[in-house]
Chain A
Amino acid sequence: MALADHLPQSRVARARILHGWLALALILVSLFSLTVGATEVSLGPALWKLATGEALTRMEAIVLWDIRMPRLILGLLVGSALAVGGAVMQGLFRNPLADPGLVGVSAGAGLGAITAIVLAGLAPLWLSRIAGDQLVPIAAFFGGWASTILLYRVSTRRGRTSVATMLLAGIALGALAGALSGILVYMSDDRQLRDLTFWGLGSLGGASWAKVVAAGPIIALALIAACTLGRGLNGLALGEATAAHIGLNVQRVKGLAILTVAAATGAAVAVSGAIGFIGIVVPHLLRLGTGPDHRPLLINAALLGALLLVLADVIARVIIAPAELPIGIVTAVLGAPVFLWILLRQRGMVDL
């Protein structure tokens, strides 16, 4: 009787227990990522040296501190941002196949980045002096943000957002951003074109402390905001009207969700380019395992997204060392089959 009493709670309870396991696995994978690489530098001996007061070699210091550490932190940030951005977007659109790429946030961020690369020479001197190397990431973030706001304006009437209009407007916006990007690509010179190609593929190869500093606070804010959205997104799953009936301020939930998605996706795309499939595969796997309740789901998505991206980055770094694969290729190779499987499995389940 007591056991039966608690059965209905089991999925949420299991999801809560999963927080701990995922956090533990994340720590292990993080340590692993600091340990392996193209050089023979390893975390263990370096820590031993630190413990015994011995000085690290310059190679150890640079590899661990300037290469692997910022890369790990950027991987954690970007992975959690992509997964949480995807989960929030899916909750907002009440569609398990929705993705930030779908509503033009990624395309807008891309347009921002391309604009910065191509027009950097034309930017006012004071702007390039302030922004410096961060001009491209900052422009990408503003591109994603601006397109989200535009999208919101287009699809909101009398304080109510129509999901269908937003979805269609997002597709149109994505096409528009793609077309404008195309014009800029045509205007670009050979060298800029190479930068664009590099940026478009998605990679953590350019990880640096500067990028961690640029993206970290934005992503952290987005993650904190996402953690307050769990109940609201659960309500939205019942429809906007019912969400209001059970006492939610629907417009506020949607507004915060949109901002969260823009911040998480914009910042992630800005520092690492377009990395696919994390945003759609991670929330889906978690819903399969521990149910769709967003309160534990969003936390687990952050943990599992970070875990998978760091793992994918380790693969990208070591599989063809001393060269490396763009991480977007690794996530696509691993994620695309899972995505197809989701589509096959859900053909009857997805209704919008």
Chain B
Amino acid sequence: MTLAVRNITVRYGPKTVIEDLNADAVPGALTAIVGPNGSGKSTLIKAICGDLPYTGQITLNGTDVATAQPWELAGLRGVLPQASTLAFPFHAIEVVRIGLTSGPDAEHHHRAEAALARVGLAGYANRYYQELSGGEQQRVQLARVLAQVWSPGTADGPRWLMLDEPVSSLDIAHQLQVMTIARNFARAGGGVIAVMHDLNLTALFADHVLVMAEGQLLASGHPAEVMTDDVLSRAYGCTLRVNTAPTDTIPYILPHCAAPHAAE
């Protein structure tokens, strides 16, 4: 009951974006994928979600992603895309309910309401989606994904959240809120895969980190093991120092102290 990525190669036309990559993720943990722009991290999560053709094999809870029916995968995992568009003037609650594919309307209704409340948008049910701020829209989309995979662990196995840069359009308080929701999902037995841009938030929330560079997996392990000067400097192609305060007087702000449970 894990995510297993075996010998994955993804090509866009003649360009090889990911080459012969192997990776694993387990439920109960938040797995972050980090790496510089163009390293293939978004491509990897798209392949995991079944959006891209690839060679090799990806299995989720033992189900082959390439051959599974859309509804089978939808029962296993929810996907929060990097950016979402919406064509018609739906209300926030209606967007959340679109994510609910089975069960009676009344149950949908309550779960959708609860999902909105969980992302801090309890009063926003009947607001037009298009009139919300970018961050609010992103949280509505998260609520939609949460409503789809409401229970992290089921008798049939864990469910998964696939988050592609979930906090990129959010302010710092909402970044912490969303990452806490994701981590709580993992604590409750679900699996979380998140493509992350922010290394501090990664260090703060991830249980497992996959560092990618140039379509390959550079390192994999606990944040403390892989987020080292050496690995990060190689991955991002610039000199990075972990746990070192700047020498001059420029103020620097870290989210660590705002997330009281981060230390556990």
Contact = CB atoms under 8 A, between A and B. Distances in A.
Interface stretch (A33-41, A55-63, A247-255): A247-255
B94 A242 contact: no
Contacts of A248: 70-71, 101
Contacts of B99: 246
A241 B81 CA distance: 8
Interface stretch (A103-111, A285-293, A319-327): A285-293
A94 B86 CA distance: 8
Contacts of B109: 5-6, 8-9
Contacts of B105: 9
B134 interface: no
Given A9-B105, A94-B87, A351-B85, A246 B74 contact: yes
A153 interface: no
B98 A249 contact: no
A247 B71 contact: yes
Contacts of B73: 245, 247
Contact of A8 (B53, B78, B125): B125
B38 to A, nearest CB: 20
A36 B14 CA distance: 68
| Best-buried of B87, B89, B125, B148 by chain A (most CB within 10 Å) | B87
B44 to A, nearest CB: 15
A95 B98 contact: no
A245 B49 contact: yes
Contacts of A6: 109
B88 interface: yes
Interface in A94-126: 94-96
Contacts of A238: 84-86, 95, 98, 144
A249 B90 contact: no
A7 interface: yes
B91 A8 contact: yes
Contacts of A94: 85, 87-88
A185 to B, nearest CB: 37
Contacts of A234: 98
A247 B70 contact: yes
B75 interface: yes
Contact of B69 (A158, A245, A249): A249
B51 A293 contact: no
| Best-buried of A7, A94, A241 by chain B (most CB within 10 Å) | A241
Contacts, number: 94
Interface string B136-150: 000000001000100
B112 interface: yes
B79 A242 contact: yes
A165 B253 CA distance: 46
B93 interface: yes
Contacts of A11: 91, 94
Contacts of B75: 247
B50 interface: yes
Contacts of A235: 98
Nearest to B53: A158
Interface in B116-131: 125-126, 130
A246 B87 contact: no
Contact of B78 (A231, A241, A245, A351): A245
Contacts of A95: 87
Contacts of A158: 53
A245 B49 CA distance: 8
A96 B71 CA distance: 28
Given A8-B113, A237-B98, A244 B51 contact: yes
A178 interface: no
Nearest to B93: A8
A32 to B, nearest CB: 33
A229 B113 CA distance: 25
A3 interface: no
A205 interface: no
Contact of B51 (A9, A231, A241, A292): A241
A344 interface: no
Which 9 A-B residue pairings sit nearest by Cβ, starting from the closest?
A247-B74, A292-B88, A94-B87, A247-B71, A245-B79, A8-B93, A8-B125, A247-B101, A237-B87
Interface of B: 49-51, 53, 69-71, 73-75, 78-79, 81, 84-91, 93-95, 98-99, 101, 105, 109-110, 112-113, 125-126, 130, 144, 148
29 contacts: A5-B109, A5-B110, A5-B113, A7-B125, A8-B113, A8-B125, A8-B126, A12-B94, A158-B53, A231-B101, A237-B86, A237-B87, A238-B86, A239-B81, A241-B49, A241-B51, A241-B81, A242-B79, A242-B81, A245-B49, A245-B81, A246-B74, A247-B71, A247-B75, A249-B71, A250-B70, A291-B94, A292-B94, A349-B130
Given A8-B126, A237-B90, 14 more contacts: A11-B94, A12-B94, A158-B53, A238-B85, A238-B144, A241-B51, A246-B148, A247-B74, A248-B71, A287-B89, A291-B90, A292-B90, A349-B89, A351-B85
